[in-house]
Amino acid sequence: MGTGVLKVISILGLFCLVLASLGVSQTSEKAYLKQIKKHRKHIHREFKNPETSPLREEAKQFHGLDYYAPDPAYKVEATLTLTPEAKPFYIPTSNPNRSKQFVSYATLSFTLKGKPWQLTVYRNLELAGIKKYDKLLFLPFLDETSGFDTYGGGRYMDLEIPDGDKITLDFNLCYNPYCAYSGGWSCPIPPPENFLELKLEAGVKKYQEH
């Protein structure tokens, strides 16, 4: 077999490998987008149910939430740096007469849109003593869409304490505090340290009554 033929076979083999990897990538992206769509349908059902909706009785008139289009680029891996010496403190809420006690659990370092960022993730001390929630982490944040396309009081993400020092942040799953939908709730206000100087165009947008 000539050298030229071997080169052609080699190139074809490499081309097939590239196509195969692209196929896997496209398949996994489709599966991911399907997962996000399923999650949003679940949220919709909860909002329609007066027993689980932040809208309470007004849930019967609920017609849906506005979201940014799902974007896999907003799903990133972060490195945790634990903060075991952190002291508990009170985070003010949307109710000026009430605050909630939290403690910093870790600093999350990650890259998004080609730049490095950091956020602090917290534990709610009221929930930490309940077995069902003893691994729950709370990530409140603000960004440059807050008060414009998204709720001015920031958005939240729920996480779980991982086994190692890596954790996945999927901003497509971030959600609004209940205060974004109706009064009477006490929603923690994201600390200033958790402001991201970028337009984080992922997840839920500002609530608009239809």
pLDDT of amino acid 203:
98
Tens digits of residue pLDDT in 54-97: 998 889 889 999 999 999 999 999 999 999 999 999 999 999 99
pLDDT at 7 (0 to 100): 40
Q: What is the DSSP letter of 117?
A: E
Alpha-carbon distances of 56 from 59, 173, 179, rounded to whole Å: 6, 22, 12
What are the two backbone dihedrals, phi and then psi, of residue 148, each rounded to the nearest 5 degrees?
A: -115, -90
| pTM for this prediction | 0.85
CA distances from 41 to 34, 48, 147 (A): 11, 11, 25
Q: Residue 82: enclosing H or E segment and its boundaries?
A: strand 75-82
Let me know the angle formed at the C-alpha of 144 by 140 and 149, rounded to the nearest 5 degrees.
90
Give the chain's mean pLDDT: 89
Instruction: Name the stretches of the chain with pLDDT < 50.
Output: 2-24
Q: How far apart are CA 128 and CA 165, in angstroms?
A: 20
